[in-house]
Copies of this chain bind each other. A is one copy, B any other.
Amino acid sequence: MTSDTPLDARSSPRAVRLAARKGELTGPTSGLASGFVQVNLVILPEAEANGFLRFCQANPKPCPLIAVSEPGQRECSVLGADLDIARDVPAYRLYRHGKTSGTLESVANEWRDDLVTFALGCSFTFEHALVQAGLRVRHIDEQRNVPMFNTTIPLSSAGGFGGNLVVSMRPFLAADAIRAIQITTRFPQVHGSPVHLGDPALIGISDIHSPDYGDTVSVGDDELPVFWACGVTPQQVLMDAGVEFAITHSPGHMLVTDIPDSGLALF
């Protein structure tokens, strides 16, 4: 794979990372290196990281940990060979005092010896498993972002962090909803089984067609909305806590790992 070859579903995870590192890839990673796990990144100074790790442990559905680095570490062999946490994501987001302070193609200049990286599972992996099982995923069919909602489901407070769960929603016929529950149960490291299905009002969602993040999708009268814990939750929690300094991936611009999707299946 040379830099002249355009990236696509058949690209290797390493080729995607190298393209991001060189600044040749600055767009979203959806559809690239199909079949390999893409992860959400949260990077925090060690002082906040210790509390955030306790928070993730207490809230595994929204914050499923795939890897946690040692302070200052930029490589991560669990995620992939020849991997640079500070440069291999196409776009990073910087936060200061709980607010976004810009998007960067590299955070090598911002790197500090006390930064701890959290790699969190992402729903791309379970959506891939749903599609492979023959299910149709509405927002993919309608070429939109998945609809996401704030809820009244409380998180377990830990390490100085807390708040309410953010969920993503995918509508299914009942039989497909049952199948989707079975399939996603196999993948606890990418949010696992749903947290709710049916009446949205029971978890504080007043209008299924007005998501708080992402896009609206159609929901049939004969369908059940099915709700999964969402990776937006930790980002919201970090902002609410007003953390002094944090780096995350920019939404949709993920770190592509060498882990095959099937490598995260429980059984």
B182 touches A198 (CB 8 A): no
Give the chain B neighbours of A243 by CB distance below 8 A.
none
Stretch at the interface among A4-12, A13-21, A133-141, A172-180: A172-180
Interface residues of A in 162-216 (CB under 8 A from B): 174-175, 177-178, 181-182, 185, 193-199, 202
* Nearest-CB residue, chain B, relative to A185: B182
Decide: A194 and B222 in contact? CB cutoff 8 A. no
Q: Chain B residues near A195: list those with CB within 8 A.
A: 175, 178
Q: Which residue of B174, B175, B193, B202 contacts A182 across the interface (Cβ within 8 Å)? A: B193
Whether A174 contacts B197 in the complex (CB less than 8 A), given A202-B222, A222-B202, comes out as yes
Q: Which residues of B have CB within 8 Å of A267? A: 267
Prevailing SS type, chain A contact patch? mixed
Number of copies: 2
Contact of A193 with B174 in the complex, beta carbons under 8 Å: no
The verdict on A224 contacting B196 (CB below 8 Å), with A181-B181, A185-B182, A267-B267 known, is no
Nearest CB on B from A192, distance (A): 10
Please determine whether B196 and A175 come into contact, CB atoms closer than 8 angstroms. yes
Count how many chain A residues have C-beta atoms less than 8 Å from C-beta atoms of the other chain: 18
- Chain A, 21-60, contact with B by CB distance < 8 Å: what is the 0/1 string? 0000000000000000000000000000000000000000
Q: Which residue of B lies closest to A181 (CB)?
A: B181
Q: Is the CB of A178 within 8 A of B175?
A: no
A197 touches B178 (CB 8 A): yes
A185 / chain B contacts, CB cutoff of 8 Å: 182, 185
- Contact partners of A197 in chain B: CB under 8 A: 174, 177-178, 197-198, 224
Q: Which of A182, A185, A194, A198 has the most CB of B within 10 A?
A: A198
Q: How far is the CB of A196 from chain B (nearest CB, A)?
A: 5
Give complex CA distance A267, B196 in Å. 24
State how many angstroms separate the Cβ of A28 from the closest Cβ of chain B.
Answer: 31
CA distance A222 to B194 in the complex (A): 17
- 21 A-B residue pairs with Cβ-Cβ distance under 8 Å, sorted by A, are A174-B196, A174-B197, A174-B198, A174-B199, A174-B202, A177-B197, A178-B181, A178-B193, A178-B194, A178-B196, A181-B181, A181-B182, A182-B182, A182-B185, A182-B193, A197-B197, A197-B198, A197-B224, A199-B222, A202-B222, A267-B267
